[in-house]
Structure 1
Amino acid sequence: MAWVYLLLAGVFEVIWASTMKHSDGFTKLTPTIITIITMIISFGLLSVAMKSLPLGTAYAIWTGIGAVGAFCVGIFILGEAATLFRIASVALIILGLVGLKVSTP
């Protein structure tokens, strides 16, 4: 169950990162409120997952999900560049996340 909490924490991290971008430096009320609420949810789920997962694994996977998810939001929603080097770099992050998952007891 800890892995489910960790995955959900990562999803909420992507949401808060995206809405933070849309808040324009916390000057727009609705995205700011969504950012704060989803940050709290994300941190809460991460803390629950860390009860049974190692710190290094949980934190690295949480940030990795957030990084890869924010990268995808940037490309598919915000129109950021999808160069071969950027995609290859994210593929390496994903490879590292899979490595952490399979090597964690």
Structure 2
Amino acid sequence: MPYVLLALAIAFEVTATLAMRGSEGFTRLGPAAIVVAGYLISFVFMARALTSLNVGPVYAIWSALGTIGAFAGGVLLFDEPVRPLTVAGAVIIVLGVIVMNLGGGVSQG
């Protein structure tokens, strides 16, 4: 169950981040409301997941998958460019998360 909560936290965080881009500097009310609600819901799910998972590796997973999700969403929704160096950076982030989890895992105790 904590991994489902973490997945939901990531999904809401990515949605909020992409809505921030679509809010055009908070000048569009609909996307701006999605930003506020999305981050609030994301933090609630993250807090719930952290009742049974370790904060370091979980935050690494959350931020890494959020970064990848925002990158992919930017490409798909806003026609942002895909550059080899950007893809390499994304791969490095994922590798870092894997190394963190190998070093300590994500369950408390």
Task: Return the alpha-carbon distance in structure 2 between the equivalents of residues 15 and 85 of structure 1.
Answer: 24
The offset of 1:52, in angstroms, is 0.9
Match of 1:99 in 2: 99
In the superposition, the TM-score normalised over structure 1's length comes to: 0.90
Match of 2:90 in 1: 90
CA contact (8 A) 1:60 1:97 kept: yes
43-52 vs 59-68, greater mean Cα deviation: 59-68
The offset of 1:15, in angstroms, is 0.2
Task: Return the alpha-carbon distance in structure 2 between the equivalents of residues 13 and 76 of structure 1.
Answer: 17
Task: Return the alpha-carbon distance in structure 2 between the equivalents of residues 10 and 98 of structure 1.
Answer: 17
Give unpaired runs (5+ residues) of structure 1: none
Task: Return the alpha-carbon distance in structure 2 between the equivalents of residues 91 and 8 of structure 1.
Answer: 22
CA contact (8 A) 1:13 1:42 kept: yes
Match of 2:2 in 1: 2
Match of 2:76 in 1: 76
The offset of 1:101, in angstroms, is 4.1
The count of aligned residue pairs is 105
Whether 1:25 aligns to 2:15 is no
Question: What code does the residue aligned with 1:30 have?
Answer: G
Offset from partner CA, 1:15-61 (integer Å, 9 cap, x none): 00000111112111100111111111100000001111111112121
Question: What code does the residue aligned with 1:32 have?
Answer: A
Task: Return the alpha-carbon distance in structure 1 between the equivalents of residues 26 and 80 of structure 2.
Answer: 22
Shift in CA distance, 90/10, structure 1 to aligned 2, threshold 3 Å: same
% identity of equivalent residues = 35
